[in-house]
Homo-oligomer: A and B are copies of this chain.
Amino acid sequence: MKLFFGKIHQETAILNEEESHHFAKVLRGNEGDLVHVTDGKGNLAEVEITSISKKAVEGKVIDLKTSFEQKNYYLHVAIAPTKTMERLEFFLEKATEIGIDEITFLQTFHSERKNIKIERIEKIVQSATKQSLKAYLPKVNDLTKFNEFIKQDFEGFTKCIAHCEADIERTPLRTVLENNPQKILIMIGPEGDFSRDEIFAAEDHNFTEISLGHQRFRTETAALQAVFAVDWGLK
């Protein structure tokens, strides 16, 4: 059964405009069809389509699950976009599939890419959410300057910066996970790593410096490993 984004009320559901178009025009769906609808906030409804118009496809809620497959942790990954968008997109797809709640793109000293197309990224994340039948849509934040990002208030979060400077003491991510953080924020640097100034600035804002292992990974591999490790360690 296909999954669509939409609004869910007590007994009815309305697909979003774009999703309505997709259902009616692309998939040529019909009244009586059964679909899944999610609001991206944990609600997942089984819906029987009752009316199809140009802008809105509506249906009757047959079954409603709340907090559908809710994880027991909240993961926010802040990542410097990779030079090749393809690699970043693959990361986004996999991270959504495995479990990520929030993504921020970081503009860092060594960043090679200074811009991202946020609409395209939102599309990828939406599509991965639908593909893997999830009821929580990860939040996507636009490109943010490193120095502004670290100043934000991340109340209740275990804040981490992953870097490769071997002469600066780092805590293994494994050790961080043993404390069972409920909310975890991990910053992943660009190909050239975070600058030392950035590392020290993060330290000043109470970020824990972490290592992901003995290997130097590509940016998107490091980010993927963090997502896998958090899922593996906290679930």
Binary contact track A209-227/B, C-beta < 8 Å → 1, others 0: 0000111111001001100
Of all A-B residue pairs in the complex, the 7 with the closest CB atoms, nearest first, are A228-B228, A90-B90, A97-B221, A94-B221, A225-B228, A229-B232, A232-B232
Decide: A97 and B218 in contact? CB cutoff 8 A.
yes
A235 in the interface (beta carbon within 8 A): yes
| CA gap between A228 and B174 in the complex, in Å | 13
Could you tell me which A residues sit within 8 Å of B by CB distance? 90, 94, 97-98, 131-132, 174, 213-218, 221, 224-225, 228-229, 231-232, 235
Interface of chain A, main secondary structure? helix
Residues of chain B within 8 A (CB-CB) of A131 are: 218
Would you give 5 A-B contacts (Cβ < 8 Å), ordered by A?
A90-B90, A98-B225, A131-B218, A174-B232, A213-B231
Residues of chain B within 8 A (CB-CB) of A97 are: 215, 217-218, 221
* With known contacts A213-B235, A235-B213, A94–B228 Cβ distance under 8 A: no
**Shortest beta-carbon distance from A112 to chain B in Å:** 16
Residues of chain B within 8 A (CB-CB) of A215 are: 97-98, 132
Residues of chain B within 8 A (CB-CB) of A216 are: 132
Decide: B229 and A94 in contact? CB cutoff 8 A.
no
Residues of chain B within 8 A (CB-CB) of A221 are: 94, 97-98
| CA gap between A215 and B97 in the complex, in Å | 9
Residues of chain B within 8 A (CB-CB) of A217 are: 97-98, 132
**Shortest beta-carbon distance from A30 to chain B in Å:** 26
For A94, give its contact among B132, B174, B224, B235 (CB under 8 Å): B224
Residues of chain B within 8 A (CB-CB) of A232 are: 174, 228-229, 232
| CA gap between A228 and B214 in the complex, in Å | 14
Point out which of A94, A214, A217 has the most chain B C-beta atoms below 10 A from its C-beta: A94
**Shortest beta-carbon distance from A90 to chain B in Å:** 5
Chain B residue nearest in CB terms to A90: B90
| CA gap between A8 and B218 in the complex, in Å | 28
**Shortest beta-carbon distance from A99 to chain B in Å:** 8
| CA gap between A105 and B98 in the complex, in Å | 24
| CA gap between A174 and B228 in the complex, in Å | 13
| CA gap between A132 and B213 in the complex, in Å | 14
**Shortest beta-carbon distance from A49 to chain B in Å:** 25
